Amino acid sequence: MRFQFAEPFRIKMIENVKHTTKEERQVYLQEAQYNVFRVKAENCYIDCITDSGTSAMSSAQWSALMLGDESYAGAKSFYKMEASVQDVFGMPYVQPVHQGRAADNIMSKIYAKEGKYMIGNMHFDTIRGSAEVLGALPLDYVIDEGMDAASPAMPFKGNLDLNKMRKLIDEKGAENISCVVLTVTCNNNGGQPVSMKNIREVSELSKTYAIPLIIDAARLAENAYFIKTREEGYADVAIKDITREMFSYCETAIMSAKKDGLVNIGGLFVTRNLDVFHKANQLAILNEGFITYGGQAGRDLEALAVGLQEATEFDYLDYRIKQVQYLGDRLKERGVPIIEPTGGHGVYVDGRRFFPHIPQHEFPSQRLVVALYEEAGIRAVELGACAFGSKDKVTGEATWPALETMRIAISRRVYTNRHLDCIVEALAYIYDNRDSYKGMKLVFEGPITSLRHFTAGFELL
């Protein structure tokens, strides 16, 4: 018999969460102008707004915290963290930073160039923001299937479209492309993985034209698991051998350790290019802290050293990915339209197919986020018309994104499958009553359109 194991851990400490009534939640929603970023976390029964910095640490990580060496320069904790990163990345030079966006910023200052293109599968918001501030031109070249929420399941929907990249090189010249950034897994289109073949081919094409390749590696372990379980030739390869091969194709990697680092804060800038490392050291000293701590406490570095090792264990990853898959499968059984296949860190519900009668300018996915909170105290996040909608730079007219989704992000090692069952019941109820919902009107947005979802205000129509 092949025994089916449950969670590869047992629970040693718990954090109580609170039930609220529907009437209370309606008040909280009104006070928050129907933006769940403005709702207090204590009033959320299940919080799926993000998987970032929300992981439960292990007893090994908590005990490592006590070993934190808080020396300013050359702390013991730095060298432990450095060795752990070198082991997982197979790259020599490690600069810690306080979180992912600090690494994005350093990377952009080194690689992005004013007026030049920056190709990616789908750039993460903070990379896009850092690049745009410098006058660079970020482009999303994920394969077409990756931009179609209704397209059938494919193993690697995060892949970069090599034909689009070749075409840009032909049309604009390689000298006008400053770098390529591959995000693994690709968050913006559903936590979809990038195959080893695609990483290798993007790397070969980039090398031909001397364009540096960077990997945005927040979810490197989840991507490696998908390569192991979906890509031919990798079934018997160890997760760490897969991560090392992934990074063997790039010059530099940046990471928000708040995801697959299994820590609550932290980030990394890792490179094999010594000149780039020296530049990153200078930028870190200016903005983060000395080279050997980069804005993190010694105890944070200790927790990260252990967390990276735990995140690359197969049993952990198998549990992690299958738990998210469990949620996706139960929702499909109830007819709820989701992006398929289910991604690594969350389930993405297709707002267009869920509320076909609500047009995109009336924020269907945001309406769904509000309904889910109102009915069940469950907090998800909109990744659609509000988060990715924009304004035409010339005409000022509103533009709407191709993907219109609500992401249910699953924190690592935090919720049980019974929590996920609650999410399924609530969403299935809303879906069965979908005709009774109307859209929303955006009544407040801050000065920077690309960041408006964090502070926006809405009214119900």
Ligand X SMILES: *Cc1c(COP(=O)(O)O)cnc(C)c1O
The Cα 286–Cα 279 span in angstroms is 11
The Cα 110–Cα 377 span in angstroms is 43
For Cα atoms 115, 117, 121, give the angle at the middle one, nearest 5 degrees.
Answer: 150
Nearer to ligand X, 77 or 99 (CB): 99
Alpha carbon 366 to its chain centroid, in Å, reads: 19
Stretch that binds ligand X, among 97-105, 227-235, 325-333, 443-451 (CB under 6 A): 97-105
32, 437, 453, 458: the catalytic one is: 453
Using CB under 6 A, which of 35, 43, 52, 281 touches ligand X? Answer: 52
Q: Does the N-terminal peptide bond of residue 455 adopt cis geometry, omega within 30 degrees of 0? A: no
Using CB under 6 A, which of 191, 212, 267, 389 touches ligand X? Answer: 267
Nearer to ligand X, 25 or 98 (CB): 98
Nearer to ligand X, 344 or 364 (CB): 344
Nearer to ligand X, 186 or 368 (CB): 186
218, 385, 426, 456: the catalytic one is: 218
Nearer to ligand X, 53 or 90 (CB): 53
DSSP count for the chain of H helices, then E strands: 16, 16
Q: Does 161 bind ligand X (CB under 6 A)?
A: no
Q: Does 218 bind ligand X (CB under 6 A)?
A: yes
Strand 46-47 relative to strand 378-379, pairing: parallel
28, 117, 124, 437: the catalytic one is: 124
Kindly give the interhelix angle for 220-230 and 314-333, rounded to the nearest 10 degrees: 80
- Nearest approach, Cβ of residue 104 and ligand X (Å): 6
- Which amino acid is located at 267 in the chain? G
Using CB under 6 A, which of 47, 140, 216, 231 touches ligand X? Answer: 216
The Cα 142–Cα 438 span in angstroms is 32
Nearer to ligand X, 116 or 123 (CB): 123
The answer to whether residues 266 and 304 touch, using CB atoms and an 8 Å cutoff, is yes
- List beta partners, residue 271: 93, 252
Nearer to ligand X, 35 or 185 (CB): 185
Closest of 53, 30, 15, 48 to residue 377, by C-alpha: 48
The Cα 284–Cα 131 span in angstroms is 17
Using CB under 6 A, which of 259, 299, 379, 413 touches ligand X? Answer: 259
- Nearest approach, Cβ of residue 189 and ligand X (Å): 12
Catalytic annotation present for 218: yes
Q: Does 126 bind ligand X (CB under 6 A)?
A: yes
Q: Residue 399 in 3-state DSSP? A: strand
Q: Does 100 bind ligand X (CB under 6 A)?
A: yes
Nearer to ligand X, 367 or 379 (CB): 379
Closest of 434, 237, 200 to residue 336, by C-alpha: 434
Catalytic annotation present for 453: yes
Interacting positions 308-367 with ligand X (CB under 6 A): none
Stretch that binds ligand X, among 39-47, 254-262, 309-317, 325-333 (CB under 6 A): 254-262
Q: What is the number of residues in the chain?
A: 461
Catalytic annotation present for 28: no
Q: Does 123 bind ligand X (CB under 6 A)?
A: no
The answer to whether residues 184 and 194 touch, using CB atoms and an 8 Å cutoff, is yes
Report the residue number whose CB is nearest to ligand X.
100
Kindly give the interhelix angle for 417-432 and 364-376, rounded to the nearest 10 degrees: 120
Q: Residue 263 in 3-state DSSP? A: coil
Stretch that binds ligand X, among 255-263, 298-306, 350-358, 432-440 (CB under 6 A): 255-263
- Nearest approach, Cβ of residue 317 and ligand X (Å): 17
Stretch that binds ligand X, among 72-80, 98-106, 394-402, 404-412 (CB under 6 A): 98-106
* Contact residues for 32 (Cβ-Cβ < 8 A; gap 6+): 38, 39
Q: Does 252 bind ligand X (CB under 6 A)?
A: no
Nearest 10 degrees: CA dihedral of 171, 173, 174, 175? -150
Q: Residue 151 in 3-state DSSP? A: coil
The kind and range of the H/E element at 134 are none
Size of the site for ligand X (CB under 6 A): 15
216, 260, 300, 350: the catalytic one is: 216
22, 72, 167, 391: the catalytic one is: 72
Q: Does 130 bind ligand X (CB under 6 A)?
A: no
The Cα 206–Cα 216 span in angstroms is 16
Q: Does 193 bind ligand X (CB under 6 A)?
A: no
| Burial status of residue 17 (CB atoms within 10 A of its CB: 0-12, 13-18, 19 or more) | middle
- Nearest approach, Cβ of residue 128 and ligand X (Å): 10
Nearer to ligand X, 99 or 206 (CB): 99
List contacts with ligand X (CB under 6 A): 52, 99-101, 104, 124, 126, 183, 187, 216, 218, 256, 258-259, 267
Residues annotated as catalytic are: 72, 124-125, 216, 218, 259, 453
